[in-house]
Each structure stands twice: as structure tokens, then as C-alpha cells.
Amino acid sequence: MIAVDQVRAYTIKSHGATIARTHLHDWLILVLLVVIDIILNIINPFYRFVGKDMMTDLRYPLKPNTVPVWAVPIYAVLMPIVIFNIRYFKRRDVHDLHHAVLGLLYSVLITGVITDSIKDGVGRPRPDFFWRCFPDGQDFYDLFGDVICNGDASVIKEGHKSFPSGHTSWSFAGLGFLSFYLSGKIQAFDRNGHAGKLCIVFLPLLMAALVGVSRVDDYWHHWQDVFAGALIGLTISFVCYLQFFPAPHHTKGWGPYSYFRALDEETQRESPSTNGMNLALVHQRQDHEITID
């Protein structure tokens, strides 16, 4: 028995620098996305008109986050990266590790920029806006009927960022990407009837969905905010995943495009007999291990 991992090993030491140089511009664009997202969080959102009659739906209690902001990058970014590294130490494919990390970061950062841009542009008040605006419970309005808030400026600013949900969009961007990644690795859609694989695929999505539910339970978001955030995050994660990996249902969905390109380039330089053997090992790969007669 020969493991395919022993046929071709593209490690960080042997190929890491080359891959990093090839995708240098992609990493620079990631830095730009970080800067843009920071700016979007610094600037003030649109302060939408909020009249007295609207306050009926905005008087929910001001509660702390069930899922704190600092926890989002831990489960949506760091946890998937840990799983990618576990896969790397088993498979020894730096193409897979690099593209999984790069695709994940693009997924969450593009989602973050889109989410925060819409937040700032829409300025929808949160369900708990009344208590952000009037912490003492005494409401005031100008001649046009708009609110005159007397609460903390930063709390009021955050109160105008309800749509869409950032927690939810980030969760689906990171955990959605992880779900697609896992479905490709375990060949969840290989038509062999192993429905148990779907439990692994749906687990990250369930985690993301529960985060979205918590945002409604905490009265930080309306249900429409959560739905929109989930749609944005899941869509962007799928698009970013397809930039580096075949669709999860594809027969080669277990590896990145660049791995197969690198393999073909190397096998073309070898003798026909060796060439044919290695191609057979890869294209007939089943569960990372095959038999050679």
C-alpha cells in the first residue's frame, strides 16, 4: 500500500517561498482590505431619522453580547486555520494550506468590507436603540420629530449599525468556508451514500446559525439583519472557495487547483512510465490511500 502523500509532498520548506512570491499581490490586497475595513469602522454611519412612533419597535432592553466581538475572529478565522494546519501535517501539501488560509482571509475580509459599508450607508437603528439614545428613559425630539439623543456618543453610533449583522456575516464567511473545505476533503458528495459525512459539513454552518440566533435574542439585531448577514457571508465564502478549490462535489474536490497544476508540471518532466504511474496514483485517489499492483 502506498499513500498518495508519499508520492508528492509539497512542504513549506520546499515550495513555501515560491508560492508566497507568486501570490504576493494577493497578500498586499488583503492588507488593503484590512485598512478599508478599519476606516469603515471609524467613520460615522448614516444617522437615520428616528421618530417617536418608531420607538415602539426600538425599546428592547440593552443587553451584553452573548457572543463577544473578540470571540468572532477566534472561531471564524483561527479555528479554521488550526484545522487547515492539521490537514497540512497529515498531507504535507503547502498548496492546500496556503490557498485555504488565503481563501479564508479573503472570505472574511471581503465580507467585512461589504457588511460595514452597508452598515454605514443604511444606518438602521438596533432594536435596543431607545436605551442607547436615552439611557435615563427620558426621550426628547426636535421640531421635525427626530430624536435628540443624550447617551454616550460611541453607544449611539453603534446603535445605528443594525443592518446587516456583522457577527452573522463574519460567522458564515469563516465557518461557511470551513464547511466547503471539509466537504471537499471528505468527499461528502461522492454519491457513495455515506450520509454521516454531512454531519461534519453542517456542523460549522450550525455554529454560524446559532451565532445569528444569539444576535436576535440579545436584541442587537432584527431578524432581517441576521438573514442578510448570513446570505452575504455564505455567498462570499463560496465564491472565494471556488477561486482556489474545485466545487466540493467534484471528483478532484479534495485538492486545490494549484496542486494538480504543480503535479502535472512535474510529471511532464519525468519518464513516461513514471509519469503514468504518478498520474494514476493521483487521479484514482480514494481516501488518500490506494493500492499499486
Instruction: Give the catalytic positions in this structure.
Output: 167, 221
| Residue appearing with cell numbers 419597535 | 57
- φ and ψ of 141, to 5 deg: -140, 150
Distances (CA, A) of 192 to 181, 186, 188, 249: 19, 12, 9, 12
HEC string of the chain equals CEEHHHHCCECHHHHHHHHHHHCHHHHHHHHHHHHHHHHHHHCCCCCCCCCHHHHHHCCCCCCCCCCCHHHHHHHHHHHHHHHHHHHHHHHCEHHHHHHHHHHHHHHHHHHHHHHHHHHHHHCCCCCCHHHHHCCCCCCCECCCCCECCCCCHHHHHHHCCCCCCHHHHHHHHHHHHHHHHHHHHCCCCCCCCCCCHHHHHHHHHHHHHHHHHHHHHCCCCCHHHHHHHHHHHHHHHHHHHHHHCCCCCCCCCCCCHHHHHHHHHHHHCCCHHHHHHHHHHHHCCCCCEECCC
